[in-house]
């Protein structure tokens, strides 16, 4: 049996499902590009350095170079905060006063428990040394990574199994089907795996970039190939 043998209603349902998958995939690419690049609109493919900053730099520095970049006064301020953290993030460090001043000017307006700003984040205050210190760990913390990974892996697995099962019933050759199915799951696994360990080996950010791109490409390609195949006239 192939998808071409399905009735019209089933074909319509699958086609609409695929359009949702295509739209959601494109939306996720746009969202991630904006988050990593610090832009507020458009589509800008993130650079390796921006990906490295997110997954291997201290959390505070990654935010200042990423989504919060528009609120930073100067790039030199980010470098100063980064160096202070790499030197041990001590309150006694001579540069802490300058760091605290930077955080107060650039961050505290929104990152304070009593903030009334439109984009306030009172749940992540940066008003005291202890609160700042909580966001100086390099890369994602294990608890944050566990939360991110299980949400993403459950969600991705659910739509990938649906998409790949539909694709397996197309009339394309087995080599094409096997390649794209393995690429989609393999790319997703290696992408998420690299999130965990890039904080220990920064070279893995290249795997994040490559495998993430490979997963997205295989999802979109399978979706378009199914849409083409499902409405093709079945050969006798």
Q: List the chain domain ranges.
A: 3-49+140-230, 59-133
Burial level of 222, CB count in 10 A (0-12/13-18/19+)?
buried
Is this model's pTM higher than 0.85 or not?
no
Per-residue pLDDT of the chain (236 residues; tens, 9 = 90+): 789 899 999 999 999 999 999 999 999 888 877 777 666 666 677 777 777 777 777 878 878 877 787 788 888 888 899 889 888 989 998 899 999 999 988 888 888 888 777 777 777 888 889 989 888 877 666 777 777 778 888 989 999 999 999 999 999 999 999 999 999 999 999 988 887 777 777 788 888 888 988 999 999 999 999 999 999 876 65
């Amino acid at each position: 049996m192939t998808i071409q043998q399905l009735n019209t209603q089933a074909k319509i349902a699958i086609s609409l499902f695929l359009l949702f998958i295509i739209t959601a995939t494109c939306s996720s690419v746009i969202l991630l590009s904006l988050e990593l690049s610090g832009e507020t609109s458009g589509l800008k493919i993130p650079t390796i350095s921006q990906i490295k900053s997110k997954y291997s730099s201290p959390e505070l520095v990654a935010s200042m170079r990423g989504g919060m970049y528009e609120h930073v006064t100067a790039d030199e301020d980010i470098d100063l905060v980064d160096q202070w953290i790499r030197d041990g993030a001590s309150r006694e460090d001579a540069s802490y006063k300058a760091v605290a001043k930077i955080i107060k000017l650039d961050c505290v307006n929104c990152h304070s428990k009593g903030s009334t700003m439109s984009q306030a984040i009172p749940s992540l205050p940066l008003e005291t040394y202890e609160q700042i210190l909580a966001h100086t760990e390099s890369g994602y913390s294990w608890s944050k990574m566990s939360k991110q990974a299980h949400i993403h892996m459950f969600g991705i697995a659910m739509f990938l199994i649906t998409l790949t099962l539909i694709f397996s019933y197309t009339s394309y050759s087995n080599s094409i089907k096997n390649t794209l199915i393995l690429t989609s799951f393999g790319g997703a696994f290696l992408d998420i795996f690299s999130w965990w360990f890039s904080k220990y080996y920064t070279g893995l950010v290249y795997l994040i970039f490559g495998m993430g791109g490979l997963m997205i490409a295989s999802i979109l390609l399978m979706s378009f190939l199914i849409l083409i195949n499902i409405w093709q006239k079945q050969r006798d």
